[in-house]
Structure 1
Amino acid sequence: MPADSAVLDVVVTDPIISRFAERLQAGAPRHRWRFLADAPPEVRSHALAGADVVVCARMDAKEAAACNARLVQVTGAGLDRVSVAALRPAVAVANTFHHERPIAEHVLMSILALTRRFPAVSGELRAGVWRTIATDDAVPLHRTLDSMTLGVVGFGGIGRETARLAAALGMDVVAVRNRPEAPLSMGALPRWVGGVGDLPRLLAESDVVVVTVPLNDATEGLIGPAEFAAMRQDAVLVNVARGPVVDQAALYRALVDKQIGGAAIDVWWGAPEAGRTPPADFPFSELPNVVLTPHYSGHARSTFELRADDIAGNVNRVAAGQPVRNQVR
């Protein structure tokens, strides 16, 4: 960073990225870093109002309206927990990524767990039941990944990386996205890419449907009763997007009625609380054909180390009067 760059007041309210305080400070050492994830609300609100840069995962409308920062740096990709519309027009907003590979690996793990019935088989063996094709003719044989079609709903960074890894293991890949005509990277070339109107075709062709779209007005409830009816009876759904992208009542009914083969749920419908963990209105945890994880698919160490580097770099850019990277507003 140039020696004549400004020294900035940087307030960090995200508890997860705060674990990487040393890396943040090493990347932008001349600045005043304040880590306030555990501070009382009044202390945090006062600090946000006076900060040059705010590093956060969440910001409500009241905090956003009082924010005078030059940059609000979101610590992940999604903006749905930050009241961007309430920020003053002069406040820039940037995000960061680096979760694509960990989430893609999680998707592949989930596919194998579901298609090889890990939840049910593990439960049987823990209960003292040894049940295989050698002991029970009703036990199905495994399928290998190279015999399956993966349908990717949304083809941003996560969708592309999932497609790349799946194709490397022999899966046939198809995809839908908002702009099907946009260029494709050479590492992720599905057999076909369609628009949102091609979703029924994708659902009908796919053995696995992975949902990776952002949550907004257009995608809330995108996968509902009609979509489950369009899926193959033995197909599985993997949701690594946001919970409300999938209609939870329709998903539960599709699983109970064996309308689909199974589901992997990493994202939920609200926050966990007593009596509602996992956070859903239906008892998904009682079903044998689901893989349940606590929104952790992207939680690799590399994700947060690289995000910390991005954040420190943007702090330095603000101080030097340079454009920030990954600016979304």
Structure 2
Amino acid sequence: MKIVMVGEAATHREMLAAGLDCPAQFVALPREAHESAAWDAQIEGADVLVSMRFQRSGAAPAFRLLQVPGAGLDGIDFAALPVGATVCNVFEHEIPMAEYALACMLEHQIELADLRARFSTEHWTGAYLKRQPRGELFGKTVVIVGFGRIGQAVATRAQAFGLRIIAISARAEGGRVDGPMDEAYTPGELDQALSRADFVILTCPLNERTRGSFGATQFAAMRQDAVLINIARAAVVDPHALYHALRDNLIAKAYLDVWYRYPRGDTDPVAPAEYRFEDLPNAYCTPHASGWTHGLFERRYAFIAANINRLHQGLPLQNVVTNPRPV
């Protein structure tokens, strides 16, 4: 089996190889080589291409399987795929991403770092006698926009803390949708749900329907004490509306883990966004790390290895996708 691994995926070659039941020839390509003639020559005739992106303006090199090493398909141009190629993705990210979302909500309510900063032996008496009540998650309402694997994983954990779950899903019908929730609405009903939210968590895919769908109108519908958590894709949110909502305190805070621009490699320095969100005191910015755990890669590459084994054996592949489905 000829397996071409692109960019970050190539760093997990040994993890993938450990799960294979067939001989394999590995080719590693840097991400910045994407869409070049040299890149095409390397993958021509490959059995498997492991890459988060596939974009083409001309003829595509032939390969059998594009195994996306994540769930997002916004980097894949399905129309550009070579004839006969199959696309599969892989999940397993919902566990750490849901934990990240809960950590953001807990941090907002408990402010553990601030509590620690105020503690010292010299000021112990005043710190104890003048301590102020803090918030708690119990009884709060969270609106989860996009109720696929990530949204449902967040909801399961949030319910354990006593939060009320409002799901926003294209599959909602009659106020219900499959999964752990109290109420469900369609994307067209989002604005009326936002006014009830203590937290709004974005977990939807990026597609033509969702791109820029969260903007000034949605921020105006949120309460001033509400918090936005974006672990979906940055482009779901209008950057200008987001910056002004935070700068003008239209909402209390935003936790931002996804960005508008990404480097193609070490030699491609880019700013993550047009605005310096990190300079705003109510913006908590992290480098797209919500799902970046050791356990994630162990689970993902075990799944990918099993899928390659199935390809070698002529068995049906798992997680075959054609186009993104609404969540």
TM-score (norm 1): 0.86
8 Å contact kept, 1:243–1:267: yes
Aligned residue for 1:77, secondary structure, equals: coil
Q: Over residues 246-278 of structure 1, what are the superposed CA-to-partner deviations in whole Å (9 max), with x where a residue is unaligned? A: 0111011111111101000000111256472xx
Deviation at 1:18, TM superposition (A): 2.7
Structure 2 gaps, min length 5? 323-327
Provide the rounded CA distance (Å) in 1 between the counterparts of 2:115 and 2:259. 24
8 Å contact kept, 1:233–1:258: yes
Deviation at 1:66, TM superposition (A): 2.2
Aligned residue for 2:44, secondary structure, equals: helix
Rate the CA distance shift 1:274–1:118 in 2: closer, same or farther, 3 A. Answer: farther
Aligned residue for 1:145, secondary structure, equals: coil
Matched, 1:169 2:146: no
Structure 1 gaps, min length 5? 1-7
Provide the rounded CA distance (Å) in 1 between the counterparts of 2:253 and 2:112. 11
Aligned residue for 1:70, secondary structure, equals: strand
Q: Which residue of 2 aligns with 1:311?
A: 304
Q: Which residue of 2 aligns with 1:241?
A: 232
Aligned partner letter, 1:58: R
8 Å contact kept, 2:143–2:200: yes
Q: Which residue of 2 aligns with 1:50?
A: 45
Aligned partner letter, 1:239: N
8 Å contact kept, 2:110–2:136: no
Rate the CA distance shift 1:98–1:275 in 2: closer, same or farther, 3 A. Answer: closer
Provide the rounded CA distance (Å) in 2 between the counterparts of 1:140 and 1:216. 44
Alignment of 1:10-29 (within 5 A): 10-15=3-8, 17-29=9-21
Aligned residue for 1:19, secondary structure, equals: helix
Q: How many residues matched?
A: 311
Q: Over residues 91-116 of structure 1, what are the superposed CA-to-partner deviations in whole Å (9 max), with x where a residue is unaligned? A: 11000010001000100111122344
Q: Over residues 43-76 of structure 1, what are the superposed CA-to-partner deviations in whole Å (9 max), with x where a residue is unaligned? A: 43212112111111222315x8423111110000
Q: Which residue of 2 aligns with 1:265?
A: 256
Rate the CA distance shift 1:219–1:122 in 2: closer, same or farther, 3 A. Answer: farther
- Compare 42-51 and 171-180 and name the one that shifted more: 42-51
Provide the rounded CA distance (Å) in 2 between the counterparts of 1:141 and 1:67. 62
Selected match of 2:314 from 307, 317, 321:
321
TM-score (norm 2): 0.86
8 Å contact kept, 1:154–1:213: yes
Aligned residue for 1:181, secondary structure, equals: coil
Q: Over residues 124-145 of structure 1, what are the superposed CA-to-partner deviations in whole Å (9 max), with x where a residue is unaligned? A: 869xxx9xx969x9x9742211
8 Å contact kept, 1:10–1:31: no
Matched, 1:228 2:222: no
Selected match of 2:291 from 288, 292, 298:
298
Provide the rounded CA distance (Å) in 2 between the counterparts of 1:29 and 1:322. 14
Aligned partner letter, 1:311: I
Rate the CA distance shift 1:31–1:181 in 2: closer, same or farther, 3 A. Answer: farther
Provide the rounded CA distance (Å) in 2 between the counterparts of 1:184 and 1:23. 37
Rate the CA distance shift 1:235–1:297 in 2: closer, same or farther, 3 A. Answer: same
Aligned residue for 2:29, secondary structure, equals: coil
Aligned residue for 1:52, secondary structure, equals: strand
Q: Over residues 138-168 of structure 1, what are the superposed CA-to-partner deviations in whole Å (9 max), with x where a residue is unaligned? A: x974221103101100000000000000001
8 Å contact kept, 1:14–1:58: no
Identity %: 37
Aligned partner letter, 2:143: G
Alignment of 1:1-329 (within 5 A): 8-15=1-8, 17-38=9-30, 43-61=38-56, 65-117=59-111, 121=114, 141-181=133-173, 188-272=179-263, 274=269, 276=271, 279-329=272-322
**Alignment root-mean-square deviation, CA:** 2.9
Q: Which residue of 2 aligns with 1:3?
A: none
Provide the rounded CA distance (Å) in 1 between the counterparts of 2:270 and 2:41. 34
Provide the rounded CA distance (Å) in 2 between the counterparts of 1:123 and 1:221. 38
Deviation at 1:189, TM superposition (A): 2.1
Provide the rounded CA distance (Å) in 2 between the counterparts of 1:297 and 1:189. 21
Deviation at 1:306, TM superposition (A): 1.1
Aligned partner letter, 1:237: L
8 Å contact kept, 1:20–1:305: no
8 Å contact kept, 2:261–2:270: no
